[in-house]
Structure 1
Amino acid sequence: GFVYDRRARQCVDVDECRILPDACQGHTFCVNQEGGYLCRPRGLLSPQYRPEASYPEVPGGFSDTFLPARPRSVEQSYPRVRTTAQCILGYAPAEDGTCNDIDECETNSHHCNPTQICINTSGGYTCSCVEGYWLIGGQCQDIDECRYGYCQQLCANVPGSYSCSCNPGFILNPDSRTCQDVNECEEEPCTHGCFNTYGSFMCNCDEGFELAADGTSCIDLDECSFSEFLCQHRCVNTAGSFSCICPPGYYVYEDGRSCEDINECDTGNNTCTTAQVCFNFQGGHTCLDPLQCHSPYVEVSDNQCMCSAENPACRDKPFTILYRHMDLSSGRTVPADIFQMQATTRYPGAFYIFQIKSGNDGREFYMRQTSNVSATLVLSRPIKGPQEVVLDLEMVTVNNVINFRGSSIIRLTIFVSEHPF
């Protein structure tokens, strides 16, 4: 009932009475109206009394909308004659003489495209598209909502609609469009500590542990494998930590790593008798028996034996033997000065010679004279323990003025420890 006027850019009414041959047949004449026409009986009224029907205008611009106007009664100046009801386009006469709307959608008398849906209106119908489609070139085409950013993160277009989803670590909000971060830490995915991040989470471990390859569990860190110098003696790995242990005769020092000698002589944890003397050395102790001087020597103190010059048996023997004891760590670095020896009595015109008389079979020691009356025992080669080394250190006194030559001995017993500490 309408045609598009390109110049006016709107839809204008089609005059069917002018362009359709024999639009009305029989004893009827054609009356044009907006969107259609009406055939009315001839001779019912004189021409000067033929009323012109007035119909409301239909808004232009909708090529798929058909809205014929409702008929309205016109007051006539002659007696009314009862006739059959004449209805405008879109209506059909009813038995009671009224006009009822024709449901073009139900009767399938519409001209909607197969892709469109028909919506009945009063006196006509409308062709429209379902939600999710729009009309392009007379066809209903799917709207790709994903192109217009309907979803915050992931979007999947489906015919007539769309579906939003979220990246891992997010959940869809009730609006079905936006996403919110998931606090994965609430489900305790980590063995130890958990730190929530935007869209994910991170696990951390307690001290002494490291994160496993799965990123969530923690495995014990073997600190002992880091360095062999972590403990002075031996390192024992524990869950989340480590501990140092020391060999018998030692205790772990305050730093938790070093080994300190236990002085069994001070603690009383020894087996020495009251007649014996307890001597402590690194990692152990020994019980020294009371001094016994062998003839022709006589005891002059608790650690010294003397052979009198008046005794003929002492002529070729050292004048005195002094007993000393010391300890030495196994593998001590060399060279090292370990013992000092010097003359206690000086005679005019005398000079002194210091030497190792016995016990130095492995050549680990030598004497270095530091003055005319003193010398130092030097460790020249590393010595391993545990072992006892007994050295006779001799001091020879020579006096050419009175033609005197004599000697004194220090019998030095060295207790070498088993460990280098």
Structure 2
Amino acid sequence: MRPRSIKPMRSGDPRQKYMILTVSILTLCLTSPGHAQQQCTNGFDLDRSSGQCLDVDECRTIPDACRGDMMCVNQNGGYLCIPRTNPVYRGPYSNPYSGAYPPPPAPVPAPNYPTITRTVICRFGYQMDEGNQCVDVDECATDSHQCNPTQICINTEGGYTCSCTDGYWLLEGQCLDIDECRYGYCQQLCANVPGSYSCTCNPGFTLNEDGRSCQDVNECMTENPCVQSCINTFGSFICRCDPGYELEDDGVRCSDMDECSFSEFLCQHECVNQPGTYYCSCPPGYILLDDNRSCQDINECEHQNHTCTLQQTCYNLQGGFKCIDPLRCEEPYLQISDNRCMCPAENPGCRDQPFTILYRDMDVVSGRSVPADIFQMQATTRYPGAYYIFQIKSGNEGREFYMRQTGPISATLVMTRPIKGPRDIQLDLEMITVNTVINFRGSSVIRLRIYVSQHPF
């Protein structure tokens, strides 16, 4: 028959009474004919050098043999888990065998049958009944417990528990009031009282039937304090205004919003405020686009909505138009096309004059960002040995422009200063041709008429 294993007491339960496990284990030695070998029982290991059974220190070999507030005490052949504050335990388990094991030689067994000796001792909290069985002792019924008058004795298997009534907990043998507010018994506001607590809710909430949780109050349905729109929130509400209105300082009433005052970029030209809304308007010569903020030029020349005569040419501008009279070349120039005048080389009066004058028209918006390339000029023919010089011959008294040569035969007119309109500017852009091979120098002019619009769009 194998001896019973030793089971440590459960730990971590503050209501468990001190319990001490006492186990008596005897060593069994078996002998076979012609060969003797000693075997050790549970709790002992064979020392091969001495041939003796030595006690195993379970408190060191078993990880976490005792848990919680219990401490491990090694015994001969086993171990105990006892409370660290156990007033009963005074020292190690009394055993006649203090170190080496086994005890003195076992009696000679009968042939073929080993002799086994077992001592049965009941654990603390149990007692032997008439059938030699260990049964639980009801300490609460026998009044053998140590609970104080403020506690309730509850019998358990092998012991008893000292408990407290609802609203109290056991601490160092005393029933102390539980502060339910500290442990979050209430969802919002909590007031602790001895053995109990009371829950209340913040404004905007009502207490549920469970007496602990709070439910939001929908103010928009019960009272609707807002003038226009009410939005319920968790514990409160928010008033909202219709588009075109803004909430006043009282958070309830709404007043018209002057959208035009918020930004000058709301409309491209002019913003007109109205109660609850606004609209954009455009100056004469423009129409409002589908985005309801941008203005687009009306091409009066294309739609025949102009006042030019049949002899004049209608030239569309941003926000208007120009009626351009037919070209008339001044002496000694001759007209060779609708926009070109030429000075014949054989005419002595053309000696110091540009060979040709080409008339061109263009428009720019008022206040255009600078610098800006607005016009390009280049030679139509390149002769061997010739090079070209580009310059502004006249019309640039305000120094709003300059010529930047971009290649051997080309240059670009650059606007260097923003120009406010409406304004008409005429520039003579000169291209000078120099040929050192044939000792030639001549020039041509583009007479550029620039119409600056009144508006920046």
TM range (shorter): 0.5 to 0.7
Identify the match of residue 297 of structure 1 among 333, 342, 349: 333
Which AA in structure 2 matches 1:328? V
**Paired residue secondary structure (1:265):** coil
Identify the match of residue 416 of structure 2 among 377, 380, 384: 380
After superposition, where does 1:13-412 map in structure 2 within 5 Å? 190-195=226-231, 202-412=238-448
CA distance in 1, matches of 2:245, 2:350: 74
CA RMSD of aligned residues (A): 2.7
Unpaired runs of at least 5, structure 1: 1-166, 171-180
**Paired residue secondary structure (2:455):** coil
CA distance in 1, matches of 2:267, 2:432: 47
CA distance in 2, matches of 1:341, 1:196: 69
Change in CA separation of 1:400 and 1:199 when aligned onto 2, cut-off 3 Å: closer
**Paired residue secondary structure (2:278):** strand
CA distance in 1, matches of 2:272, 2:300: 26
**Paired residue secondary structure (2:280):** strand
TM normalised by structure 1 equals: 0.54
**Paired residue secondary structure (1:348):** coil
Shift of 1:305: 0.8
**Paired residue secondary structure (1:317):** coil
Which AA in structure 1 matches 2:314? C
Unpaired runs of at least 5, structure 2: 1-202, 207-216
Shift of 1:245: 1.8
CA distance in 2, matches of 1:327, 1:350: 33
Change in CA separation of 1:194 and 1:323 when aligned onto 2, cut-off 3 Å: same
Change in CA separation of 1:185 and 1:210 when aligned onto 2, cut-off 3 Å: farther
CA distance in 2, matches of 1:396, 1:253: 46
Which AA in structure 2 matches 1:375? A
Change in CA separation of 1:401 and 1:218 when aligned onto 2, cut-off 3 Å: same
CA distance in 2, matches of 1:228, 1:346: 52
**8 Å contact from structure 1 (residues 250, 262) kept in 2:** yes
CA distance in 2, matches of 1:197, 1:351: 80
CA distance in 2, matches of 1:196, 1:328: 55
**8 Å contact from structure 1 (residues 276, 289) kept in 2:** yes
**Paired residue secondary structure (1:313):** helix
Change in CA separation of 1:399 and 1:252 when aligned onto 2, cut-off 3 Å: same
Shift of 1:190: 4.2
Shift of 1:198: 9.4
Shift of 1:185: 5.5
Change in CA separation of 1:350 and 1:243 when aligned onto 2, cut-off 3 Å: same
Which AA in structure 1 matches 2:247? L
CA distance in 2, matches of 1:358, 1:304: 18
Q: Across the two proteins, how many residue pairs are aligned to each other?
A: 246
Which AA in structure 1 matches 2:443? S
**Paired residue secondary structure (2:301):** helix
Shift of 1:168: 11
**Paired residue secondary structure (1:206):** coil
CA distance in 1, matches of 2:377, 2:234: 78
CA distance in 1, matches of 2:437, 2:236: 99
Which AA in structure 2 matches 1:298? L
The residue number in structure 2 matching 1:113 is none
CA distance in 2, matches of 1:238, 1:376: 48
**8 Å contact from structure 1 (residues 185, 195) kept in 2:** no
Shift of 1:182: 9.2
**Paired residue secondary structure (2:302):** helix
CA distance in 1, matches of 2:343, 2:241: 75
TM normalised by structure 2 equals: 0.50
Change in CA separation of 1:340 and 1:198 when aligned onto 2, cut-off 3 Å: closer
CA distance in 2, matches of 1:409, 1:302: 16
Percent of pairs with identical residues? 67
**Paired residue secondary structure (2:437):** coil
Shift of 1:342: 0.3
**Paired residue secondary structure (1:266):** coil
Shift of 1:259: 2.2
Change in CA separation of 1:184 and 1:309 when aligned onto 2, cut-off 3 Å: closer
Which one is further off, 351-360 or 207-216? 207-216
CA distance in 2, matches of 1:227, 1:183: 36
